[in-house]
Amino acid sequence: MRLLLIEDHPRLGQSLEDALRRAGYAVDRVGTVADAHVYQSSTQYNLALLDLGLPDGDGLELLRNWRRAGVSFPIIVLTARGGLNDRISGLDEGADDYLVKPFAIEEMISRCRALLRRPASVAPDLISYGEISANASSMEVYWRGQPIDLARRERRLLIALLRRAGRVCSRATLENELYDYQRETTPNALETSVSRLRGVLRALGAIEQVDTVRGVGYILRGAPP
């Protein structure tokens, strides 16, 4: 699951970003309306957390414009504007939830989970291919109904491949889902994660396997028709 965090306060933004990552989400953090538009237009997100007081514009107007443009992923407003009329305006403009600062980070993460469980989320919660299945919201992965012991990054990789099972998945697509824009990765980071995932699947005896498509990316295949 990939989240867009729009928060201009450096310390708060970093705290929220770190907490969301610990909860298992990939997070891109921006601090302006302009950057929010750029990221949203180039990346598929499952949910956004939106501060209303941004330095180059009003987050409420950003929310209004996104909804008018057909942006459908859930959006949680994070703001110091706690009046009744403020809350009503935010929800009427298209927010799915409204949190008034200061709030407990644990509550914010719980509300993220609740919204991501809704059927209208960008990606379905339950996905499967052959004998491998996953709950994309909880990041749990299974083989023959039993949990697979995988590190967080390899879980994300497997879920990304499951969503496109039987189709070639480009390197760029996988790297976009596994890594945050703000954090540089080593040239072989993706190959390392693929190698670890392959090792786990082999140890399980799974017939599903991750094959390399040279010069393009990877594909999960092997499930019986």
Instruction: Give the contacts of 210 (CB within 8 A, at least 6 positions apart).
Output: 161, 194, 197, 198, 201, 218, 219, 220
Rounded mean pLDDT, 45-74: 90
What pLDDT is attached to residue 117? 80
**pLDDT(125) > 70:** no
Rounded mean pLDDT, 41-63: 91
Local structure of 153: helix, strand or coil:
helix
Residue spans per domain, the chain: 2-116, 126-221
What pLDDT is attached to residue 127? 84
Q: What is the dihedral of CA 145, 148, 153, 156, to 10 degrees?
A: -10
CATH number assigned to the domain with residue range 2-116, chosen from the 4 options 3.90.79.10, 3.40.50.2300, 3.40.50.720, 3.40.50.300: 3.40.50.2300
Residue pair 41/12 in contact (Cβ under 8 Å)? The answer is no
pLDDT, tens only, 25-42:
989 999 999 999 999 888
What pLDDT is attached to residue 123? 47
Rounded mean pLDDT, 193-221: 94
**pLDDT(186) > 80:** no
CA distances from 63 to 5, 33, 73, 78 (A): 13, 10, 11, 12
